[in-house]
Amino acid sequence: MHASISRIGLALFLLYTLLYGGFVLLNVFWPKSMEATPIAGVNLAILYGFGLIGAAFVMALIYGVASRPAPPSREQL
């Protein structure tokens, strides 16, 4: 695996861990915050949960695109 790809993977992993950790800690220490309905009358617990699931897929796609082998340069052709 190319070093820069590893760095992207690690950065995305840390970002997601922060998002997930934030969700868990909010639930444990500020459970009332999950009852707020900031968008479209849907509470934060559901919005954050959907957000985590969506973020996982988006980050996976970013990683997949970033990991594609580079097209051969003109010298290599």
Residues that bind another protein (CB under 8 A): 1, 9-10, 12-13, 16-17, 20, 23-24, 27-28, 31, 34-35, 37, 40-43, 45-46, 49-50, 52-54, 56-57, 59-61, 63-64, 67, 69
Nearer to another protein, 32 or 74 (CB): 32
Nearer to another protein, 1 or 77 (CB): 1
Tokens standing for 39? 């968008």
The 10 Å Cβ neighbour count of residue 8 is: 17
Please tell me the distance from the alpha carbon of residue 34 to that of residue 27, in angstroms, as a whole number. Answer: 7
Cβ(52)–Cβ(20) under 8 Å?
Answer: yes
